[in-house]
Amino acid sequence: MNDNLHQLRCFGCGARISGREARPDFRCAECGDLFEVDYPGWGQRKGHDRPNPGALKWLWRERRCSSEGLDHSGVWRFRELLPILDNFGNAVTLREGNTPLYSLPRAAKALGMDQLFAKHQGMNPTGSFKDTGMTAALSVARERGFQWVACASTGNTSAAMSAYAARAGLRSLVLIPEGKIAWGKLSQAMDYGAVTCQLKTDFDGCVRVLTQIVREAPVYLLNSVNPYRLEGQKTPAFEIAEYFDWTVPDHLIVPGGNLANSSALGKGFRELKELGLVARVPRISVIQAVGANPLVRSIAANHGESMEPVEAHTRASAIRIGNPASWRKAARVVQETGGFCLDVSEAEIAIAKAELGEEGLGCEPASAVTLAGLKKLRAQKAVGGGESVVLVLTGHTLKDADYTIDFHRGTLLRAEEARGYEAPIEGLRRDAISVEATPEAVLAAVKGIA
Ligand code: F0G
């Protein structure tokens, strides 16, 4: 199964092209929609030619103990399910994936649930889930001989892309909205040697500019319209299934921004089922911020038939996206798996993030929408107490330390945003205190608080 016979299939009109025929903007020449990587050979393999699920499961687990670099990657150890390279020797890896899956005992108790987990994708080499997609797509860029790669980003994609480009010896161009991305992410792009351009526009404006650039210059586009990104980003689905010994949890909850990650995880579970590795797929729900909720609106208005872009506003800067590229794919995943799509307020995000902090798990504000969304779904009784649920935490807490500090200092939210949530916010805030440099003063301060 590891021969590179993939095709790109248009998600809109079904047109098929070879990988090398893709246009630089990865849009279908027939209908303008996005492509998905497809492996037509899989469906044709019958009888003895069919992959042996037991052997694959054994091999993938065994590779974790191998001394081979590629096997240490939580993406490439599953390489039989992403044969996108002519030669796996071209893979550029920083040992991404193999991220931890934590139980959330406090949140589970508060929500009356038995089995609640967090898959922490912030524990990747550059601190976000983007690494799993970047190792895949950047390896394709290298194999195809590109010298330059580029992305528009709310920060994490640019951090991941510039790191992997540096590893591969490629040059990278980053377009970010000026003043609108977290410092942690901007500092990474600088450190990894990207040409970082801050544009006086939002993320959606950066995408528009970059789309024109790649049509004119020999630059390989690494935004998530690039279908190879999703091949890497589907692999956490394999890890989750493996963790549960190839049964799957009932429900996966994912933040929604440009909407590629939910699509990728849905594809991962769908392929596992098609290949007979799991018996069913989990529900997949997508949670957006109230101020950046075009998919929520689209599903409510017309079941995801069309989508109206919005002007995006949220402090969860990673998902401040008003015109998400992969909305059609995400809508299909939500609908096909019986998932939900809903939005959460700024106060709900801040509280959920602090609650995860109380479990010893830091994450980005964009990741905390998952817990905030689950709390709503539990309140609506859409999720039962006996269901097993996995929250996908997408980014590391240190990406946006300013957000966390502002929350604990009480300067994050405006009074009208916090209205109705004052008590939980006060209960969760832990501001640093100024104390005289004597043991007595410190002990008195501890007594005062404890
Ligand atoms: N969480 C984090 C931490 C992100 O950085 C992003 C997207 C998302 C969630 C949403 O994922 O776009 O696949 O729906 N960040 C992008 C970036 C867009 O440029 O880093 P999505």
Per-residue pLDDT of the chain (450 residues; tens, 9 = 90+): 445 789 999 999 999 999 999 999 999 999 999 999 999 988 777 777 778 899 999 999 999 999 898 999 999 999 999 999 999 999 999 999 999 999 999 999 999 999 999 999 999 999 999 999 999 999 999 999 999 999 999 999 999 999 999 999 999 999 999 999 999 999 999 999 999 999 999 999 999 999 999 999 999 999 999 999 999 999 999 999 999 999 999 999 999 999 999 999 999 999 999 999 999 999 999 999 999 999 999 999 999 999 999 999 999 999 999 999 999 999 999 999 999 999 999 999 999 999 999 999 999 999 999 999 999 999 999 999 999 999 999 999 999 999 999 999 999 999 999 999 999 999 999 999 999 999 999 999 999 887
DSSP annotation of 177: E
* Distance from the alpha carbon of residue 257 to the mean position of ligand 1, in angstroms: 5
Instruction: State which of 120, 124, 126, 128 you would mutate to test the pocket of ligand 1, scoring each by most atoms of that ligand within 8 A of its C-beta.
Output: 128
- Point out the ligand 1 atom lying closest to the alpha carbon of residue 224: 13
Please give the Cα distance from 279 to 269 (Å, whole number).
10
| Polymer length in residues for the chain | 450
DSSP per-residue letters across 157-168: HHHHHHHHHHHH
**Phi/psi-derived region of residue 360, left when phi > 0, alpha when psi is between -120 and 50, beta in every other case:** left
CA–CA gap between residue 262 and residue 287 (Å, rounded): 10
Residue 198 Cα to ligand 1 middle (Å): 18
CA dihedral 159, 165, 171, 177 (to 10 degrees): -20
* CA 411–ligand 1 middle distance (angstroms): 25
- Least Cα distance to 111 among 355, 429, 342, 425 occurs for 355
For atom 6 of ligand 1, which residue has the closest CA? 318
Ligand 1 atom showing the smallest separation from residue 261 Cα: 13
Q: Count CA within 13 A, CB hemisphere, residue 296.
A: 20
For 307, the token pair is 């989508």
CA nearest neighbour of 78 among 100, 52, 92, 97: 97
Separation of CA 319 and ligand 1 centre (Å):
6
The residues, ordered by sequence, that sit 6+ positions from 307 with a Cβ below 8 Å of its Cβ are 294, 295, 297, 298, 324, 327, 328, 331
Protein residues with CB under 6 Å of any ligand 1 atom: 128, 130, 153-157, 224, 255-261, 318-319, 364, 366-367, 394-395
Ligand 1 atom nearest to CA at 258: 12
Ligand 1 centroid, distance to 243 Cα (angstroms): 24
Residue 287: name the closest of 223, 330, 336 by CA. Answer: 330
> CA dihedral defined by 251, 84, 395, 175, rounded to 10 degrees?
-130
SS3 state at 436: coil
- Tell me which of 129, 314, 319 to substitute to probe ligand 1's pocket, judged by most ligand atoms within 8 Å of the beta carbon: 319
Strands 16-18, 7-10: pairing kind? antiparallel
For a mutational test of ligand 1's pocket, the pick from 134, 151, 156, 403, i.e. the residue with the most ligand atoms closer than 8 A to its C-beta, is: 156
Q: Ligand 1: which residue has its CA nearest to atom 19? A: 153
Instruction: Say how far apart CA 60 and CA 74 lie, in whole Å.
Output: 9
Is pTM beyond 0.95 here?
yes
